[in-house]
Structure 1
């Protein structure tokens, strides 16, 4: 496997990077309007970065064209439930009540979960943790060190922050197809300070609810499995609640969208047509300093070839739709 170029060497942050040169998976952007800085977050993988453990990298830009970095804003510490050598997936940063909160999926392959029947491989501890900082530039420190935020016996990933119409914070996450065969999205209430979860998880929808979905055949199982990945929630200008998420259709990985018929997190949820095809997904929306809504996602799925791609979006009041690819930002 090829190694990252200097643009991804965490020991040598520098200016002048372009998105086409930065290996990125599960990209997430924070637009800091007060300081007029865009922050881009992605995973830090030791074999590509030279770090001795997994973590999170950050790049920053004033114009979405020229980027400075990478800067290390989080590494998995010793003596916590997660293993520092087993991965950091889907990092995202949310401004909340005057601080910044990193949501990142951590792993411990040595902590085996009780086996449900007919799974296709061994389940290990995997779930989203929350870390906090006073700055989007970190460093971020874990709020809870003894386990992930979703139930520890659930194999989950890609937790994100959603605050409902009553001001209640939730973590919305994907419950792994590895454990369920047909992956789901679920939500769990968070304390007001985001330090821990409470109550029972709420089921939102399952991957096979999408009429265009394609089941994947996996080795060592008689099942065909359905993937849920990369949830992000937004309100349209018309007040409709939508969720970006990703899975597979007949041609590969896609960026898709669902909508709550009730306008509430509990749904019921309806599946809309995918937004972007071509081995693209795990996207999120953000607003530029000029007021334009953009979608950023990764393409292709495989690392280290994966890069951030950006699309101009239109808020239709009932959903979001792609206007055009911003090749001027991410390169041809």
Structure 2
């Protein structure tokens, strides 16, 4: 049983926390220009955060060094297609047309899918949902309760919002390797209020296209799989469309990046050299109020040891590069 961390108790929010004090996975930061606050979103976990079911929590900061929280912004509802006790993965919040939209992946382990487990992982209902609020602090309400954005049998996860050059919204997401063996990153167009998917999804690329991906030797009883996690899209200063995503190299989590050769979502996509290794990943970019690009990711992968790490980034025009790890903002564990 993990050691309980009182600084992460939603019943006892605290001020003056450092990132080292906050168990977190799949972090997402919204820099809210309306209030001057940074909001750090991560999964709300009953055994770590004092909640009665899974959901989404946030921490607030004005300087990226001192954080306040946690506060609940979303609680998995009872009576929907997902089970509120089976997890809430990879939350992120986007401002879109004056409202705030939460993307989060929910599960129902009690609804198995056909097919044998893959390397010990069983197939079951999973999917990204979208919820809305008038405030980045929630509460967020699901746009639809009877199903995720795409069918729950597809095992989609880590959905993110992308608005294309024509102003059309898309959900870009990962298709679970448990179901596909070679995980993919895909996209589906959304209607203007983000409540429904329009048309069929398109495949952007496969995890195996990364030349460094999963080159280690496997035991005879293991299947070679390729993982896609944590997709995020950005337009560089020179107009290139790049995507952050994560996978594994020799069993260690990696934060990597891809670039569209056409500048369009449909690609084709080329895989660039990873940005951060060392069991680090599921990162996203945000711009500080001073105009600096920052990458936030979690390291190491395993909870509850996982913590957020910040890296100052440079937009080189054709891509992004790490300038330095901001150790001054991490705090000290122990």
Q: TM-score, normalising length from structure 2? A: 0.96
Give 3-state SS (helix, strand or coil) of 1:48's partner.
Answer: helix
Q: Could you list the runs of 5+ residues in structure 1 that have no partner in the other structure?
A: none
Equivalent residue, structure 2, for 1:178: 178
Deviation of 1:35 (Å): 1.1
1:111-170 CA-partner distances (Å, limit 9, x unpaired)? 12233x785543101110001000000000111111111232211110000000011100
The answer on 1:15 being equivalent to 2:7 is no
Deviation of 1:5 (Å): 1.5
How far apart, in 1, do the equivalents of 2:161 and 2:88 lie? 17
How far apart, in 1, do the equivalents of 2:286 and 2:132 lie? 21
Give 3-state SS (helix, strand or coil) of 1:12's partner.
Answer: coil
CA contact (8 A) 1:43 1:90 kept: yes
Equivalent residue, structure 1, for 2:242: 242
Give 3-state SS (helix, strand or coil) of 2:2's partner.
Answer: coil
The answer on 1:168 being equivalent to 2:176 is no
CA contact (8 A) 2:103 2:128 kept: yes
Equivalent residue, structure 2, for 1:146: 146
How far apart, in 2, do the equivalents of 1:85 and 1:168 lie? 34
Q: TM-score, normalising length from structure 1? A: 0.96
Q: Could you list the runs of 5+ residues in structure 2 that have no partner in the other structure?
A: none
Equivalent residue, structure 2, for 1:125: 125
Deviation of 1:33 (Å): 1.5
Q: Compute the RMSD of aligned alpha carbons.
A: 1.6
Give 3-state SS (helix, strand or coil) of 1:195's partner.
Answer: coil
How far apart, in 2, do the equivalents of 1:122 and 1:249 lie? 23
Give 3-state SS (helix, strand or coil) of 2:276's partner.
Answer: coil
How far apart, in 1, do the equivalents of 2:191 and 2:216 lie? 37
The answer on 1:331 being equivalent to 2:325 is no
How far apart, in 2, do the equivalents of 1:6 and 1:119 lie? 36
CA contact (8 A) 1:172 1:185 kept: yes
Please give the residue correspondences for 1:275-286 in structure 2 after superposition, counting only pairs within 5 Å. 275-286=275-286
CA contact (8 A) 1:56 1:75 kept: yes
